[in-house]
Amino acid sequence: MATGVSSVAAQLRPGFGGPAAFEVAKIRADFPILTERVHGQPLVYLDSANTSQKPEAVLKAMDDYYRHANANIHRATHLLSERATALYEGARAKAAVFLNAPDPRTIVLTKGTTDGINLVAQSYGRATLKPGDEILLTWLEHHSNIVPWQLLAGQTGAVIKVVPINEAGELELDQFAALLSPRTKILAVGHVSNALGTINPIKAMIGQAHAAGAVVLVDGAQAAPHLAIDVQALDCDFYVLSSHKMFGPTGTGVLYGRAALLDAMPPYQGGGDMIASVTFEQTLYNQVPYKFEAGTPNIAGVVGFGAAIDYLAGIDREAALAHEDAVLEYATAQVRQIPGARIIGEARHKTGVLSFVLDGVHPHDAGTILDQQGVAVRTGQHCAQPVMDRFCIPATIRASLGIYNTREDVDALVRGLHKVRELFV
């Protein structure tokens, strides 16, 4: 049952004939929802950090799976189960290539980033932490990279320490170095901040944490849709991400783990497929990664995730990032010109996110007025209450970008913000 993973990987290297040049009009044509109208207006989708939209190729892969391959994986001898298993394991192999993981065995398919972090906290963390050990987080973390560690601290007697941020929304790296000690057992850090868009210098941080003897988990949910990720070059111990932020479906994602750590970790959940044999006296667990995949998974979601990875492999990602950076720079300049606008998070290295507040207008009201004009943004705390508290604001308006966004989208946002001001100021 747990065989053939590596051989599937060899067939699934992406980039047939190399990626095509980046043309945003062509990219937009790949995403059917972008022609949708909302409240009678053309949709301007600026909420991709919340969840990205899905290209036709992903929708078709999931539809095709249900029409032509639907069966349970790893279990049956019939043809449909073979097809389903090949698609599912194929997606795992694609994820390994996407992250430059050394082996598909190091790729655990999860429900998403939150699930991956909880898995590491409850399996690795619970088995290793002792009272007084320290878990180091940062002030930029999403609630999903805070709460699982608080639960773990409550269970083990470990203590949580937090790396502060400066006014620009960047980590205070001297404070980070000062907080590292032999007591630091786990560093859990986001690659890119969801609330502010800050790109953290994780490679250097991983090196410093390793030197202190800590294991490092990187929350890559916001990095995956924008940046190239190489877990071997980063030398991280765990890297987690979600399919739905990177143009795949919701409800699935990946945990990459260093093989020796995964092998030594106890199971996270019990159930079918994660076992080798079960009697009432003794159960033998399956090998990794299956040990961590109890129950029938979100097979169609994983198939769609595989298609999303293929989609990204088929575009020039460096050119896509250059395009996104140019749109972000344009948006930052445009919003800065609006009277009363204040940008929250002005890190030197940012990607994909423009968070801001408008004097005299609560973000939630701005969100409703923008929505009526077809502009979808997120308003609120972005599951990052400590970041809001740090800047002494209740919430922000967050415009976040995907590869399909344009300067015209930014212009629509700015027109909308002027309407907000007309009504409120």
Partner 1 sequence: MSELTDLYQEVILDHNRRPHNFRVIEGATKQEGYNPLCGDRLTLYVAMDGGVITDVAFQGSGCAISKASASLMTDAIKGKTADEARALFDQFHAMITSDHAGPAADLGKLSVLAGVREFPTRIKCASLAWHTMKAAVASETDAPVSTE
Which residues does the annotation mark as catalytic? 383
394 binds partner 1 (CB under 8 A): yes
Q: How many residues bind partner 1 (CB under 8 A)?
A: 16
Give the binding range for partner 1 (CB under 8 A) out of 126-134, 161-169, 174-182, 368-376.
368-376
User: Shortest approach of partner 1 to residue 419 CB, angstroms?
Assistant: 9
Q: Select the span of 230-238, 297-305, 347-355, 374-382 touching partner 1 (CB under 8 A).
A: 374-382
Does 388 sit near partner 1 (CB under 8 A)?
yes
Cβ proximity to partner 1, 249 vs 363, nearer residue: 363
Task: Provide, rounded to whole angstroms, the least separation between the CB of residue 395 and partner 1.
Answer: 4
**Closer to partner 1 by Cβ: residue 47 or 293:** 47
| By the rule CB under 8 A, 395 interacts with partner 1 | yes
Verify binding: residue 362, partner 1, rule CB under 8 A. yes
391 in contact with partner 1 (CB under 8 A): no
Exactly one of 381, 402, 409, 413 binds partner 1 (CB under 8 A); that residue is: 381
379 near partner 1, judged by CB under 8 A? yes
Residue 363 makes contact with partner 1 by CB under 8 A: yes
Query: From the list 250, 380, 406, 411, which residue makes contact with partner 1 (rule: CB under 8 A)?
Result: 380
Q: Which is closer to partner 1, CB of 379 or CB of 405?
A: 379
d(CA 400, CA 355): 8
Which spans of this chain sit near partner 1 (rule: CB under 8 A)?
362-365, 368-369, 372, 379-381, 385, 388, 394-395, 423-424
